[in-house]
Chain A
C-alpha cells in the first residue's frame, strides 16, 4: 500500500498539522517506508492468534472511588493563554 498526496493532506487536516508544500514529498516517502515495513509484517500467518490489545502481560489495576484532587484552578489558569471568570477562553468555535 502506498499513500497519495491526497491521503497525506487529509490526515494532516484531521490531525491539525500544517505540512508545508515543499515538505509533503518527504512526508509521503517516509510514510511509505513505514507502510512497507507493515506490509512485510503482514506476510506472517496470524490465523488462530488472538488479537492483542496490549503488549504487556498484565491487567489494569484500579483505584478506589475517592476524591483526591484538590482545586488547583488558580495554578492551571495562571499558565493558560487566556482565562476569564474561571473559564478557559479559546478562539470562537461555532457549531
Chain B
C-alpha cells in the first residue's frame, strides 16, 4: 500500500486459473489423460476432431466442479450449458473449444486469502466453468514446421475466474495459493504445476490513484509457478507504469512470461481474434443436476483448510504458524492429527512432525505420503516420550530406527534394546556417588562456588547410563549429592 502511495499508481489484478481435473479419461472422450505418454498415443478420433464424431460428457467432472463451487460458497448452476468458442489454431483441430459461456457450473463465490502480512483479504470469484484443454504445439522440433501433440486435447479443465480485486503480485500469489490448496484438498486436481495441472493467466492494469476507470489491461498467459507469477506481475506493473509515465499508451494484448529473461513479451494480437463467436454447442444437451446430487457432493467434502487451521488453533492450542503450516495440505493435516491423537499430545506431535519428520522428508526429497514412518508409529513414539518411558534423545534414535526399518513396534523396540528411561533413584544414586568419588577435584571446585560444573556431572551420569537416565531427575539427584558435605 505504502509503496503504491509513493509511486502514485494503483495496480489492479484479476486471475484466470486453469485447473486440470484429475479424471482418468477426457471430458468428451474415453481417451486416457495420463501424463507423459508417447505423443498422440492418447488422442482419439473425438480429440482429433474427426468428421462425424460426437462428444460424450464424462460424469466425473460434475462432482468435482460442484465440490469447488461449494468450497467457495458459490451458486451451483443446476442447469449448465456447453458452448463453442471458435478460433483457428493447429492445437485445436475442431476449430472450436467446447466451454461454458452463459450458464457455467459455478457462479460467483469468494475465498478468504491469508496474506503474508497476517491480514485476511476476501477475493470474489466471477465464475468457474468446465472446458476442454487444447493440444501442445512444438515449434522447435522441425525446421520451418510445427509439431502437434494432441494428448492433452480434451483434458477436462475448470477455469476459475476472479474479480479484478487484487492490488499486488503478493496478493495475487496468495490468492492463487489459496485456490491451489482448495482444489488439492477437495481432490478436484492433483495441482501438479510442473505437469501443467494448475496454470495462471494474470490480467494486469495500472491506474493513477483516485482514477475511477480501470486502465487498459494486458493478459500474461500460462504462468505455471507461483514464483513466476509474482515476477511476471511485478515486471508487467513496472513496464506499464514506465510506459504511462513516459506519455505512452498500453496496448491490450496477450503476453508471455519468459522466466529465463525475467520479462513478459507480446504473444499474439487479439485484434482480429477477439471475436470468438460463441454459440451453444449443438452436439450437447444441457446438463441438469438436482439438490440431492449437490447434497451428496457436500457430504463427501473434507473439512476445508481455513476451518481446519482455526480448529488446530482452538482445539489443539497450536500457534498460528504451526496451525497454518500443518493445515496446508490434506495429507499433512491428516498425518499430524493421527500422530497427535495416538500420542495424546498435539503440540508435541506438531513439533515432531515439523522438525523431525519434515526435516527427514526434505533431506530425502520425499512427500508426506511417502514417509517411511506411519502417523500411528510416530504417535506411539511420542506417547512414550510424553509418559516418561523414554527420553527425547532416545526418542530421536528410535525415530531413526523406525525410518531405517530396524524397528516396527515402538514398545517392542524399547524393551528389546533396553531403552526404558531410568528414573529409579535406587539405580541412579550409586552411579552418581561413584562419579563424584572418581572426580573429587571437580566436586571440590563445585562446592567452592563453580556451580557450572553441575553440567559436567550430569553429562557423566548420562554417559554412564547410555542416555537412558531421566535428565531432570539426574540433575536433581546430582545437585543434592554434591550439596551434601564431603564424606
Chain A residues within an 8 Å CB radius of B45: 69, 72, 76
The answer to whether A63 and B57 have CB atoms under 8 Å apart is yes
Contact of A69 among B29, B58, B144 (CB under 8 A): B29
In the complex where A53-B103, A85-B147, A88-B148 touch, is A69 in contact with B44 (Cβ < 8 A)?
yes
When the two chains form the complex, which single residue of B25, B147, B285 contacts A87, counting CB atoms closer than 8 Å? B147
A78 at the interface (CB under 8 A from B): no
| Contact B150 A92, beta carbon cutoff 8 Å | no
Q: Is the CB of B56 within 8 A of A93?
A: no
Q: At the interface, yes or no: B438 with Cβ under 8 Å from chain A? A: no
Interface of A is mostly: loop
**8 A Cβ contacts from A43-69 to B:** 51, 53-54, 56, 58-60, 62-69
Taking CB atoms, residues of chain A closer than 8 Å to B44 are: 69, 72
Instruction: Flag if B286 contacts A59 (CB, 8 Å).
Output: yes
B60–A65 CB distance below 8 A:
yes
Q: Which residues of B contact A59 (CB under 8 A)?
A: 285-288
Q: Which B residues are CB-close (under 8 A) to A14?
A: 86, 272, 275, 277
> Beyond A13-B272, A14-B277, A69-B29: 5 further Cβ-contacts under 8 Å?
A53-B280, A59-B285, A60-B57, A60-B286, A95-B267
Return the contact of A67 from the options B32, B38, B88, B284 (Cβ within 8 A): B32
Main SS of the interface on chain B? loop
Q: How far is the CA of A58 from the CA of B286 in the complex (A)?
A: 8
Q: Is B5 an interface residue (CB 8 A)?
A: no
Interface residues of B in 3-58 (CB under 8 A from A): 23-25, 29-32, 38-46, 48, 56-58
Identify A92's interface contact among B24, B144, B149, B275, CB under 8 A: B144
Which of A10, A58, A88, A94 is the one whose CB lies under 8 Å from B147? A88
Chain B: number of interface residues, binned into ranges: 35 or more
The residue on B at minimum CB distance from A72 is: B44
Contact across chains for B30 and A67 when beta carbons are under 8 A apart: yes
- Closest A-chain residue to B148, C-beta based? A88
Q: Mark B275-315, 1 if CB is under 8 A from A, else 0.
A: 10100101011111000000000000000000000000000
Supposing A60-B57, A64-B59, A92-B144 touch, asked if A54 and B280 sit within 8 A by C-beta, the answer is: yes
- Picked from A56, A76, A82, A92, the residue with its CB within 8 Å of the CB of B40 is A76
B145 in contact (CB, < 8 A) = yes
A77, B40: Cβ atoms closer than 8 Å? yes
Partner of A56, one of B29, B139, B285: B285
Contacts of A10 in B (CB 8 A): 272, 275
A54 touching B285, Cβ below 8 Å: yes
At the interface, yes or no: A18 with Cβ under 8 Å from chain B? no
Closest Cβ of chain A to B202, distance in Å, is 18
Chain B residues with CB under 8 A of A22: none
8 Å CB interface, A1-55 against B? 10, 13-16, 51, 53-54
Neighbouring B residues of A13 by C-beta, 8 Å: 272
Instruction: For A51, give the chain B residue with the smallest CB separation.
Output: B102
CB distance from B122 to the nearest CB of A (A): 32
- A52 CB to nearest B CB, Å: 9
Cβ-closest chain B residue relative to A16: B88
Partner of B24, one of A15, A16, A67, A88: A67
Q: A89-B142, A93-B146 are in contact. Are A60 and B285 (CB under 8 A)?
A: yes
Give the CA-CA distance A92 to B137 in the complex, in Å: 10
Bound together, the chains give a CA A10 to CA B272 distance in angstroms of 8
Which B-chain residue is minimally distant from A53 (CB atoms)? B81
Given the known interface contacts A62-B58, A65-B59, A86-B39, the answer about A92 and B139 at a Cβ–Cβ threshold of 8 Å is yes
Q: Does B482 contact A (CB under 8 A)?
A: no
B89 at interface, CB cutoff 8 A: yes
Looking at B139, B149, B285, B288, the one whose CB has the most chain A CB atoms below 10 A away is: B285
Q: Tell me whether B40 and A87 are in contact (CB under 8 A).
A: yes
- B41 adjacent to A65 (CB under 8 Å): no
Q: Enumerate chain A residues within 8 angstroms of B102, measured Cβ to Cβ.
A: 51
**B148 A68 Cβ-Cβ under 8 A:** no
- Beyond A16-B88, A59-B286, A60-B286, whether A69 also contacts B30 by CB under 8 A is yes
Chain A: which residue is nearest B83 at the CB level?
A: A53
Decide if A65 touches B25 in the complex (CB within 8 Å). Answer: yes
- In the complex, chain B residues 315-348 whose Cβ is within 8 Å of any chain A Cβ: none
Neighbouring B residues of A68 by C-beta, 8 Å: 25, 30
Residue B256 at the chain A interface, CB threshold 8 Å? yes
B146 close to A92 (CB less than 8 A): yes
Q: A60-B284, A87-B149, A88-B150 are in contact. Are A65 and B137 (CB under 8 A)?
A: no
Contacting pair B146 A71 (CB below 8 A): no
User: Could you tell me the distance in whole angstroms from the C-beta of B85 to the nearest C-beta in chain A?
Assistant: 12
Q: Which 8 A-B pairs give the minimum distances between C-beta atoms?
A: A68-B30, A87-B147, A65-B60, A62-B59, A69-B44, A86-B39, A60-B285, A53-B81
CB neighbours of B275 from chain A (8 A): 10, 14
Contact B41 A86 (CB under 8 A): yes
Q: Which residue of B lies closest to A76 (CB)?
A: B48
Q: Is B62 in the interface zone, CB < 8 Å from A? A: yes
Bound-state Cα–Cα, A54 to B48, Å:
25
Do A90 and B148 touch (CB < 8 A)? Answer: yes
The residues of B that contact A77 with a CB separation of less than 8 Å are 40
B415, chain A: closest CB distance, angstroms: 50
